Structure 1
Amino acid sequence: MSKPFISLCPEITRTNALNLMDWLEDESVTRYLSDSRHVSRFIEQVVGRVQLPILTHLFNQGGRFFMAYDRHDVPVGFVRLVKTGADCEMVLVIGNRDNWGRKLGASAIREGMKLAFFDMRAEKLIAKIHTDNARSLQAFLRCGFLLERETPTLKSFSLSSERYRRLLRESAVDDPTGIYITEIDKARLSSLVELEQGPAIVELEHEIERAIVVDAQQVAPNVVTMNSRALLHVDDEAVEVALVYPQDADGSAEKLSVCSDIGAAILGYKEGDAIDWRVPDRTCRIWIEKVLYQPEAAGDFHL
């Protein structure tokens, strides 16, 4: 069974808004949403009043709104992140009941955590959940949230940035899809992400944080390290790439920046690994067929 996959997309289209209206008409979906009636009326007014195909700016008033897509690029729910001071609150909905029980909620939570901590730089992420909402309670607990306080009707959970990063590092040890990075590459890349911005940088920082760090002389020769060359299959297209730092990239696959979507995706993976990864307009499947050259394996430790 394949691992549940969710990507969060910040662009909200008119079609997305119609999907949201359908979900919010289902009482089983909205029963635990305290502001569902307000949200439903807002969406209805937007769709009726604004004829634009892209409605992102309207949905981002007072917070950041993301559509949740599965690996087939089908919208399955949404995540809303509202930052107040150093804290950020998450609201999550998986909109179609047919998708309940597939652990998509936990996957959406993890993607939201990534954005809250690496993009929005929150110090603490909060989730307020109705005490009867068993699925959400279990999903947030599985993702490492801790109970902070409760009332007869509401439980408030939180996750600190420090705890989140520690859990990322600890889970990497037992993760069969874990990635490896050399000490030198981690030091260089950590300095790099402090200077760069964008969705790929958020993903890159997350990958660096969760990677298993190894000595350059001990990294396996079939791992994609910096300045490696590899033969990939991106969906149905075979392509040979060299993974390089931004200053060495030329915009082609021959010198692919680690700050690009595909570049951030393949860092630390090894021959035979297949990765589902969101690029700007779709989810692609990346298969690493072969590492053609790795500096560490070749003794080129100066690269």
Structure 2
Amino acid sequence: MNKPFISLCPEITRANALTLMDWLEDEGVTRYLSDSRHVSRFIEQVIGRVQLPILTHLFNQGGRFFMAYDEHDVPVGFVRLVKVGPDCEMVLVIGNRDNWGRKLGASAISEGMKLAFFDMRAERLIAKIHPDNARSLKAFLRSGFVLQSETPAMKSLVMNSERYLRLLRESPAAHTSDIFITEIDKARLRSLVELARGSDIFELEHEIERAIVVDPLKVAEDVVTMNSRALLQVDDEKVEVALVYPEDADDSAGKLSVSSGIGTAILGYREGDAFSWRIPNRTCHIRIEKVLYQPEAAGDFHL
């Protein structure tokens, strides 16, 4: 739980807009934002003329806008992704100075890459950064971006999809834990993802791609594989669940689809692992207390 954690939420509320206004009044935050005055004026106009509680559609004009939350569901910044042809450009801001230095930027970059490559299907992700913005340059370079071009006013850093997938498998992000998946489960889940293409499945695709693939005969018996049953602690509640394919899901019986929020979250983790995961309306904190049944450990390889 002490690893830096960021989730990106697409819903932008009126309260979010007021928070953004506060951040954009800080010259330290806006110093390297080329369009900060335009953004600030836009937000002010929106708040003044629109009396709606949800402003998502206004912020998504010309791109996709996400509020960045920490593990306590406190907004700490924002990410904007703009698709231009096959490429996508990322703008990232950690809005409160008190959060600088906590490596939240690196976690936000990781989440932004996940969206750009798995959800928006970008071929390249580009970040244009002022040469004096040493903190941002360091965060993007450490995340695997490489310098594409530079001028006295701008450095353009890029990550392509092939490099992203390679780094995802070989150099996992510092804020994530290793997860494990059997060869058979990976093949079945890849087929599931192909058939269920959509914005709600990209998290599962990301987890499949980053997982360490193991032989079903050699997988540790304390790993949550498909059709396993496990005792979880979700926030302050202990729950017993089974991880199943979507056609077998039954929430009332504790059978969680692998394509659901917590179902995707627990895939591949081991007993004792604890992590945060964003579900639609909040961040939940999950701990794998015990794997009660695992098909591979029981010799049930047909499941």
Structures share fold, TM-score greater than 0.5: yes
Offset from partner CA, 1:2-41 (integer Å, 9 cap, x none): 1100000000000000000010111111010010000000
> Structure 2 CA distance, aligned partners of 1:297 and 1:252?
26
> Structure 2 CA distance, aligned partners of 1:173 and 1:121?
20
Specify the alignment match of 2:98 in structure 1. Answer: 98
> Structure 1 CA distance, aligned partners of 2:83 and 2:14?
25
Offset from partner CA, 1:218-269 (integer Å, 9 cap, x none): 0000000000000011101111101000011123352110000000000000
Q: Does 1:28 align with 2:28?
A: yes
Q: Does 1:120 align with 2:117?
A: no
> Structure 1 CA distance, aligned partners of 2:10 and 2:166?
27
CA-atom RMSD in angstroms: 1.5
Offset from partner CA, 1:82-139 (integer Å, 9 cap, x none): 0011000000000011111111111101000000000000000000000000000000
> Structure 2 CA distance, aligned partners of 1:301 and 1:268?
17
8 Å CA contact retained: 2:110, 2:173 = no
Specify the alignment match of 1:171 in structure 2. Answer: 171
Percent identical: 81
Specify the alignment match of 2:158 in structure 1. Answer: 158
Q: State the one-letter code of the partner of 2:165.
A: R
8 Å CA contact retained: 1:240, 1:253 = no
Secondary structure of the equivalent of 1:194?
A: helix
> Structure 1 CA distance, aligned partners of 2:219 and 2:174?
17
> Structure 1 CA distance, aligned partners of 2:97 and 2:175?
29
Q: Does 1:278 align with 2:262?
A: no
Secondary structure of the equivalent of 1:192?
A: helix
8 Å CA contact retained: 1:29, 1:95 = yes
Secondary structure of the equivalent of 2:254?
A: helix
8 Å CA contact retained: 2:128, 2:155 = yes
8 Å CA contact retained: 2:3, 2:175 = no
> Structure 1 CA distance, aligned partners of 2:270 and 2:175?
14
Structure 1 residues 176 and 9 mapped into 2: Cα distance closer, same or farther (>3 Å)? closer
Unaligned 5+ residue runs, structure 2? none
Specify the alignment match of 2:65 in structure 1. Answer: 65
Specify the alignment match of 2:84 in structure 1. Answer: 84
When the two structures are aligned, how many residues end up with a matched partner? Answer: 303
Give 1:197 shift.
Answer: 4.7
Structure 1 residues 65 and 174 mapped into 2: Cα distance closer, same or farther (>3 Å)? closer
Specify the alignment match of 2:3 in structure 1. Answer: 3
Specify the alignment match of 2:15 in structure 1. Answer: 15
Give 1:152 shift.
Answer: 1.0
Q: Does 1:212 align with 2:217?
A: no
Specify the alignment match of 2:300 in structure 1. Answer: 300
Structure 1 residues 81 and 176 mapped into 2: Cα distance closer, same or farther (>3 Å)? closer
Q: Give the alignment's TM-score, normalised by structure 1.
A: 0.97
Secondary structure of the equivalent of 1:252?
A: helix
Specify the alignment match of 2:37 in structure 1. Answer: 37
> Structure 1 CA distance, aligned partners of 2:78 and 2:174?
29
Q: Does 1:240 align with 2:210?
A: no
Secondary structure of the equivalent of 1:90?
A: strand
Specify the alignment match of 2:148 in structure 1. Answer: 148
Moved over 6 A (4+): 173-176
Structure 1 residues 174 and 145 mapped into 2: Cα distance closer, same or farther (>3 Å)? closer
Structure 1 residues 124 and 26 mapped into 2: Cα distance closer, same or farther (>3 Å)? same
Secondary structure of the equivalent of 2:233?
A: strand
Instruction: Give 1:191-202 correspondences, 5 Å limit.
Output: 191-197=191-197, 200-202=200-202
Q: Give the alignment's TM-score, normalised by structure 2.
A: 0.97
> Structure 2 CA distance, aligned partners of 1:173 and 1:101?
17
Q: Which stretch shows the higher mean deviation, 194-203 or 130-139?
A: 194-203
8 Å CA contact retained: 2:4, 2:175 = no
8 Å CA contact retained: 1:190, 1:205 = yes
Structure 1 residues 54 and 188 mapped into 2: Cα distance closer, same or farther (>3 Å)? same
8 Å CA contact retained: 1:172, 1:211 = no
Specify the alignment match of 2:249 in structure 1. Answer: 249
